[in-house]
Amino acid sequence: MIDRGVIEYAATTRGLSGSCPRDRAASPLRSLFRPEPRDACVAVRQARSRPPGPRLRTLARILGAGAALLVLGGCLSGVDVTIENRTALALGDVTVSGRGFSERVGTIPAGAMQALRVHPRGESGVRVSFSAEGRQYALEDGYIEDDFFYRARVVVDAGFSIRIDTGLK
């Protein structure tokens, strides 16, 4: 024998109020906005017989995708920094630093470009320092966060003027 509570629960979870239209009075307004199935008793029996598997699988997929994003989020952190040397001389002792990071790049030849990834701690500016022709040059500018979507571009022009552009990719 089928338990009436199970049928009523299945009916309410499937949007039917009651186990069968023969057991309740139908509202004329309700039928305008939400048409009843031809045989609501059959719909209730079908609703009761459906396993909850697809819902659980969907929930498991959503949770799995969320966990994967959290794991990949750690791999995708960091800010891409490119340093472009537009001078006729090599830049020596190039260092990129900021809050929570300091990366020594080394020497960048004339006309070359160097790329690296830094991991600032929270909000930070970008400081670039280098030596050329026996002099030290340095500039701190811009705003970055430890986020895959930020980028920083450093350009050293002729005359050793430094320009730092930061922003979202």
Looking at the fold, whether 113 and 160 belong to one and the same domain comes out as: yes
pLDDT band, very low/low/confident/very high, at 139 (cuts 50, 70, 90): very high
Question: Considering 27, 53, 75, which residue would you say is the last residue of a domain?
Answer: 75
Instruction: Clarify whether residues 147 and 88 are in a common domain.
Output: yes
Top-confidence residue, 28 or 134: 134
pTM summary value: 0.56
**pLDDT surpassing 90 at residue 129:** yes
- Portion of the chain with pLDDT greater than 70, in percent: 62
Contact 166, 142 (CB under 8 A): yes
Question: Which whole number is the average pLDDT over 55-74?
Answer: 70
Do 163 and 96 fall within a single domain? Answer: yes
Model confidence at 4: pLDDT above 90: no
- pLDDT exceeds cutoff 90 at 41: no
Residues 89, 163, single domain; the answer is yes
Query: Cβ distance 113 to 136 under 8 Å?
Result: no
What whole-number distance in Å separates Cα of residue 7 and Cα of residue 16?
A: 10
Give the 3-state DSSP-derived string for the chain, with helices as H, strands as E and coil as C: CCCHHHHHHHHHHCCCCCCCHHHCCCCHHHHHHCCCCCCHHHHHHHHHHCCCHHHHHHHHHHHHHHHHHHHHHHHCCCEEEEEEECCCCCEEEEEEEECCEEEEEEEECCCCEEEEEECCCCCEEEEEEEEECCEEEEEEEEEECCCCCEEEEEEECCCCCEEEEEEEC
Number of domains in the chain: 2
Q: What is the mean pLDDT of residues 83-96?
A: 95
Same domain, 89 and 111: yes
Are 164 and 83 found together in one domain? yes
The 8 Å CB, 24+ separation contacts for 5-8 are 6/48, 7/44, 7/45, 7/48
Confidence of residue 59 (pLDDT cuts 50, 70, 90): confident
**How sure is the predictor about 44, in pLDDT bands with cuts at 50, 70 and 90?**
low
pLDDT at 165 over 50: yes
Let me know whether 104 and 57 are in one domain.
no
- Do residue 53 and residue 93 come from a single domain? no
Are both 70 and 99 inside the same structural domain?
A: no
Q: For residue 149, what is the domain's CATH number?
A: 2.60.40.2890
* pLDDT of the residue at 147: 81
Which residue among 43, 75, 107 closes a domain?
A: 75
Q: Are residues 89 and 162 in the same domain?
A: yes
Residue span of the structural domain in which 121 resides: 79-168
Residues 86 and 161 in one domain: yes
Inform me whether the pLDDT recorded for 1 exceeds 50.
no
**Residue that terminates a domain, selected from 75, 95, 126:** 75
pLDDT at 65: 75
Range with the poorest average pLDDT among 19-23, 83-87, 126-130: 19-23
Regarding whether 122 and 66 lie in a shared domain, the answer is no
